[in-house]
A and B are shown apart, each in its own frame.
Chain A
Amino acid sequence: MAAQAVEIAKAGSLAKAPEGIRWAAESVYKDVFRTPVEKDPFEVSLEQKLDLLLAANAEALRVRGVKKSHASMRFAGEHRFLANSEGTQVESETTMSTAQVRATAVDTRTAKTRYFSAYPKNIGYEHIEATPLVAEATRVGEEAVAQLSARPCPVGKKDLILHPSHLVLTMHESIGHATELDRVLGMEESLAGSSFATVDQLGALKYGSELMNVVCDNTMPFGLGSRGYDDDGVAAQRWHVIRDGILVDYQTGREVCHAIGAERSRGSCRADSWGSIPIVRQSNLGLEPGAEPLSPEELIADTKDGIYIEGIGSFSIDQKRYNFQFGGDCFWEIKNGKKGAILRDVTYQAITPEFWGAMDAICDERFWTPYGVLNCGKGDPGQVARMTHGSAPARFRQINVGDASK
C-alpha cells in the first residue's frame, strides 16, 4: 500500500506547483483524546432503544391526522490513530449520539412532515435519555397536522426571526463553506465551487452587521468537530473568522494557510474515514450571542410583521455562496409582537452579505444552542463530514419571502 501511495504521488508531480507543497510548521504531539461518555451507546441494549423508538412512533401516530411516523437513533464510534514523519502520534476516540422522530400528516390534498431531534453531539447515550423524544413526538405530530390547513407563505419582504435549529444550516451554507480556505483558493472549483469571500478582501469584507461575530471552536465540548487534533496533526483551536461583521480569518489546513500569510494552520483539515484524504472541512462554527439581555419572547414582542422559523427544510446556494434560498421545518406568523398561526411552504431568498447585513438583533447567551450537522458533503471523491453550529435566535430585517414555486 505504501508503494502504491508513492507511485500515485510521483504521478501527481507531473503537474505540480513550481514552489512545491509548503506545509506550515506544527509542534509534535503524543496525545490521546476521548469524548467524555457517561453511558456507552453501544452497551445499551437493543431492546431499550427499540422500546423508546416505538413509544415515540406510537405517540406521534396517536395524533389525529398523522399517518406515518419514523423514529430513529444513530450512534457513531470512531477510533483514529494519526502518525506522521515529524513524530506526532495522536489517538482519538469519539462517540456521537443522536435520535429523531418524524411525523407525516396526510389529508386529501397534501402531506406535511415535521421532525424533532436529539441533535447530534459527541456524547454518550445520556444525551438520548435526557431528551423528551416521546413527549416531543406529540408536538411535532400536531404541528405537522396544523401545516396541512395552514395559510401559505405571503409574498414580499418580512422580518425573519430564525431559531438556532434553523440558523444551523444558514450559517453552514453561507458562512461555513464560504470561509474554507481551500474553496476560496479554487481547489474545490470543479465540484463544490469557490467563494465570494476572496483572500484579497481579508480584513476588509463587510460580511454582515456589526452584531455579527462568528467563532470557530474545535475545542468545544460535545462539538462534532472536536477530537483534539485534525488529520494534519494540528491541535484544536478557537478563533474568529468574522469579527464585528468583518471577515478576519478563514478555516485552514497546513497546505493552504500560507496563502493568507499565516504561519500556523487553524487545524481544520479532516478526512471522513481511513479511506479518504484530509481536506479543509468546516470546524465547529457559531454565531456569538448578543451582548445585551434579550429573550426570544422579547424579540418577537419587538417585531411587527414577521415570520418565525424553526428547523431545517429545503436549501440551495450558488457555487460562490452568494445567492441562496432556504426553507424550514415549521413557520409561524408574527403580527404586532405576537407569535400567531402556523404558515406553510415558507422560503426566503437573499444574497449572503445583504442577509447578514440585515441582522439587527441576537438573543443573549442563555439562548445560545449548538446543533450538529451529520451530512456535510465536499470533496472529489465526495466525503461526508460532521460539525456543530451554535447560535441564539436572531432577527433579520426585510428579507424576501414567498411561495417560490408559484
Chain B
Amino acid sequence: MNESAAKEAIEKVLNLARADDVFVRMGGSAFHSTRVADNLITQNVARCNVSVRVDCAFGRQHGSAITNVFDDAALQAVVRRAAAIARVSPPDPEYMPPVPSEEAARYPEVARSYDEQTACCAPRWRAEQIVEATKPVEAKGFRLSGAYATGSGFTALGNSAGLRAYHRSTHAEMHCSVLGANGSGWARQASNDVAALDASAIAGQALTIAEAAQCPADLEPGRYTVVLRPAAVFGLLGYLWSAFDAKATDEGRTFLRGKLGTRVCGRNISIGSDPSDKRSPGRPFQSDGLASQKLAWIREGVLENLIYSRYWAARKKRAATGRPANTLVAGGDSTVESLIRGVDRGILVTRFWYIRAVDPMRASITGMTRDGLFLIERGQVAGPIRHMRFNERLFDLLGRVEQLGVPERVSLSAMVPAMRVREFNFTSATRF
C-alpha cells in the first residue's frame, strides 16, 4: 500500500474512534518465494496481507484490536472492539499517552530501502535464477535445496496527538544448502535490491563448502579455538537483545542486572545500532512512533545502554531508546582465511542451528553446528569433522574473541564480522 492510501485509511480509522487517546498502526507485506529441493522446484508461493491495529485509551485504561478487512463495517467494528476492551480493562500504571507529533522531526534520514524491480519481481525470474544456480551443483553430483524470496512491506502510523509516519522497504534473499552423500555446505545473501543478489555465486559458495565437507571424521568434544564465519556469529547473537530490556534488568530478571557502565565482554567488542547506516538501513521510527536512534549498546566491552521503553525511561529519568534499529558489530580487517592462519589446532564453523537459551540469567545458550564443520591444523583447514553441540555463556564468549574479520551483511538488519574465539565449549557430538 502506498503512502497516500495508507494515510487515508489511518485518517478514516482515527475519525471513527471516540476515545481519549487513539493510535492506529498499519502493516502490510507482499512475500514471494520459490523453493527448491534436490535441484527441483518444490514450492512456489505468493502471499499478500495488510492489517490495521487500533489502540484506544480512556485515561489509563487501554485496549487493542486488529483486522485485515477494510470495509466500513469492519473498521467500525475493530474500533468498537478496541474501545470495549479498554473500558473493561483495569487502569494500567505503565500506560503512556501517544507519542507527540513533534517526534516526527527527530526521525533520521535513512537510505532508500525500496526498489520497484524487487517489489515486482516475477516468479519466472526467480525460477530462472534458481535453475541457473543449480546447474553447476547438479553437474558435480550434488543437490541444492533452498529458497529465493522477494517482496515488499510497509508500516504506517497515526495517532490522536497528530503524529503520522510511513515507511516501506523491499527485500530479496537467497539461501541454500548444497548436499553431497556425506556432508553439506550452505550460503545466504540478503539485500533490499534484487539486482544485488547473485544466485550463482551463493550456490557456488555453498558448493565449495559442501565439497570440502564430505566424509567427516570424529573429533572429541571439548574446548577448542574456533573461527566463526559471520553467519555463525550472527546466530550466537540472536539472544543478545533479550538481556537488554532495562525494566527487566533493573528488576533483576536479566543477566545484565547491575552491569550498566561496567565491562561485560572483551575490549575488542563494540555493538551499536544506526538506522542511517547505508550498509544495513533501518526504519526511521519505532512501532510506537518514537524516532529510531543511533546508539552504542556495548562500546569497547563496556555496557553503555539498555533498551528503555518510554515508560521505564520516564520512571528512571532517562531518555527512551526504543529497540535497536539494526545490529552493527564492529569488526577488523581480517579475512576468514587470515583468522584461520592464526590457529594451530582448532575448528572452523560455517554456521549454527537451533540455538536456544539454557539459562537467561547466565546468558547461557546451546546449539548445534551445521553445514560444514572443519578441523584447522597449523593454520590450514585439515578436513571435515562431524557436527557438535556447544554450550556457552554469550558474554563470556565475547570476552574470548582474539581477532575480528570484516563485517558482512548477514541479514537485512545486521552487519557482523567473522571472529576467532579461544576455548569455545563443544559438549557433545552427533552422528554426521
Place the interface of chain B in its size category.
35 or more
Cβ of B430 and Cβ of A322 under 8 Å apart? yes
Tell me if A341 is interfacial: C-beta within 8 Å of chain B. Answer: no
Cβ of A190 and Cβ of B176 under 8 Å apart? yes
Cβ of A316 and Cβ of B366 under 8 Å apart? yes
Cβ of A275 and Cβ of B44 under 8 Å apart? no
Q: Which of A8, A191, A275, A349 contacts B389 (CB 8 A)?
A: A349
CA distance A405 to B179 in the complex (A): 32
Tell me if B90 is interfacial: C-beta within 8 Å of chain A. Answer: yes
Interface segment out of the listed A12-20, A93-101, A159-167, A221-229: A12-20
Cβ of A275 and Cβ of B47 under 8 Å apart? yes
Cβ of A9 and Cβ of B44 under 8 Å apart? yes
Tell me if B312 is interfacial: C-beta within 8 Å of chain A. Answer: no
Tell me if B161 is interfacial: C-beta within 8 Å of chain A. Answer: no
Tell me if A261 is interfacial: C-beta within 8 Å of chain B. Answer: no
Interface residue ranges of A1-36 to B (CB < 8 Å): 4-5, 7-17
CA distance A315 to B366 in the complex (A): 9
A-B contact list, 22 entries, CB within 8 Å = A8-B45, A12-B34, A14-B128, A15-B39, A15-B130, A50-B88, A111-B252, A186-B38, A187-B37, A188-B37, A190-B175, A316-B355, A316-B356, A316-B367, A319-B353, A320-B431, A323-B430, A351-B430, A381-B33, A404-B364, A405-B358, A405-B362
Top-6 shortest CB links A-B: A405-B364, A323-B430, A11-B123, A190-B145, A189-B145, A12-B44
Q: Which of A188, A277, A318, A381 contacts B368 (CB 8 A)?
A: A318
Write out the residue numbers on chain B whose beta carbons fall within 8 Å of the beta carbon of A9: 44
- The proximity string for B residues 124-136 relative to A, scoring 1 for CB distances below 8 Å and 0 otherwise, is 1011101100100
Tell me if B196 is interfacial: C-beta within 8 Å of chain A. Answer: no
Write out the residue numbers on chain A whose beta carbons fall within 8 Å of the beta carbon of B47: 275-276, 381
Tell me if A44 is interfacial: C-beta within 8 Å of chain B. Answer: no
Cβ of A322 and Cβ of B37 under 8 Å apart? no
CA distance A54 to B336 in the complex (A): 54
Cβ of B430 and Cβ of A275 under 8 Å apart? no
Cβ of A196 and Cβ of B85 under 8 Å apart? no
- Closest chain A CB from B66 CB (angstroms): 14
- Closest chain B CB from A238 CB (angstroms): 29
- The proximity string for B residues 24-49 relative to A, scoring 1 for CB distances below 8 Å and 0 otherwise, is 00000001011111111111111111
The answer to whether A380 and B35 touch (CB under 8 A), given A15-B40, A111-B253, A277-B43, is: yes
Cβ of A10 and Cβ of B432 under 8 Å apart? no
Tell me if A80 is interfacial: C-beta within 8 Å of chain B. Answer: no
Cβ of A189 and Cβ of B179 under 8 Å apart? yes
- Closest chain B CB from A54 CB (angstroms): 7
Write out the residue numbers on chain B whose beta carbons fall within 8 Å of the beta carbon of A400: 428
Cβ of A320 and Cβ of B46 under 8 Å apart? no
Q: Which of A7, A68, A405 contacts B391 (CB 8 A)?
A: A405
Cβ of A349 and Cβ of B430 under 8 Å apart? no
**In chain A, what residue has the closest Cβ to B359?**
A345
Cβ of A46 and Cβ of B145 under 8 Å apart? no
- The proximity string for A residues 81-116 relative to B, scoring 1 for CB distances below 8 Å and 0 otherwise, is 000000000000000000000001011101100000
Cβ of A318 and Cβ of B353 under 8 Å apart? yes
CA distance A318 to B179 in the complex (A): 16
**In chain A, what residue has the closest Cβ to B85?**
A46
- Closest chain A CB from B35 CB (angstroms): 6
Cβ of B84 and Cβ of A10 under 8 Å apart? no
Residues of B within 8 A of A (CB): 31, 33-49, 84-85, 88-90, 122-124, 126-128, 130-131, 134, 143, 145-147, 149, 175-177, 179, 184, 251-253, 353-359, 361-362, 364, 366-368, 370, 387, 389, 391-393, 427-432
**In chain B, what residue has the closest Cβ to A402?**
B427
Write out the residue numbers on chain A whose beta carbons fall within 8 Å of the beta carbon of B368: 316-319, 323
**In chain A, what residue has the closest Cβ to B257?**
A111
Of A68, A381, A406, the most chain B CB neighbours within 10 A belong to A381
Of B90, B356, B370, B429, the most chain A CB neighbours within 10 A belong to B356
Q: Which of B36, B147, B149, B353 contacts A15 (CB 8 A)?
A: B36
Tell me if A201 is interfacial: C-beta within 8 Å of chain B. Answer: no
Cβ of A8 and Cβ of B46 under 8 Å apart? yes
Write out the residue numbers on chain A whose beta carbons fall within 8 Å of the beta carbon of B184: 189
CA distance A317 to B353 in the complex (A): 8
Cβ of B366 and Cβ of A322 under 8 Å apart? no
Residues of A within 8 A of B (CB): 4-5, 7-17, 45-47, 50, 54, 67-68, 104, 106-108, 110-111, 186-191, 193, 196, 275-277, 279, 314-320, 322-323, 325, 327, 345, 347, 349, 351, 380-381, 400, 404-406
Cβ of A106 and Cβ of B41 under 8 Å apart? no
**In chain B, what residue has the closest Cβ to A320?**
B432
Cβ of B44 and Cβ of A11 under 8 Å apart? yes
CA distance A187 to B46 in the complex (A): 19
CA distance A375 to B305 in the complex (A): 32
Write out the residue numbers on chain A whose beta carbons fall within 8 Å of the beta carbon of B122: 7, 11
**In chain A, what residue has the closest Cβ to B144?**
A190
Cβ of A323 and Cβ of B428 under 8 Å apart? yes
Write out the residue numbers on chain A whose beta carbons fall within 8 Å of the beta carbon of B43: 12, 277, 279, 380
Q: Which of A5, A68, A111, A186 contacts B37 (CB 8 A)?
A: A186
Cβ of B251 and Cβ of A4 under 8 Å apart? no
CA distance A406 to B431 in the complex (A): 24
Cβ of B38 and Cβ of A16 under 8 Å apart? no
Write out the residue numbers on chain B whose beta carbons fall within 8 Å of the beta carbon of A7: 122-124
CA distance A340 to B146 in the complex (A): 50
> A12-B123, A314-B359, A318-B368 are known contacts; what are 6 more A-B pairs with Cβ within 8 Å?
A11-B126, A12-B43, A107-B252, A190-B35, A279-B43, A380-B35
Cβ of A190 and Cβ of B391 under 8 Å apart? no
The answer to whether A277 and B432 touch (CB under 8 A), given A380-B35, A405-B359, is: no
Write out the residue numbers on chain A whose beta carbons fall within 8 Å of the beta carbon of B429: 323
CA distance A12 to B148 in the complex (A): 12
Write out the residue numbers on chain B whose beta carbons fall within 8 Å of the beta carbon of A406: 391
The answer to whether A196 and B431 touch (CB under 8 A), given A50-B90, A381-B47, A405-B393, is: yes
The answer to whether A10 and B124 touch (CB under 8 A), given A110-B361, A190-B177, A323-B389, is: yes
Write out the residue numbers on chain A whose beta carbons fall within 8 Å of the beta carbon of B39: 15
Write out the residue numbers on chain A whose beta carbons fall within 8 Å of the beta carbon of B393: 405
Write out the residue numbers on chain A whose beta carbons fall within 8 Å of the beta carbon of B432: 320, 322
Cβ of B123 and Cβ of A277 under 8 Å apart? no
- Closest chain B CB from A58 CB (angstroms): 12
Cβ of B40 and Cβ of A17 under 8 Å apart? yes
Write out the residue numbers on chain A whose beta carbons fall within 8 Å of the beta carbon of B353: 193, 318-319
**In chain B, what residue has the closest Cβ to A188?**
B37
Write out the residue numbers on chain B whose beta carbons fall within 8 Å of the beta carbon of A323: 368, 387, 389, 428-431
- Closest chain A CB from B218 CB (angstroms): 13
**In chain A, what residue has the closest Cβ to B186?**
A190
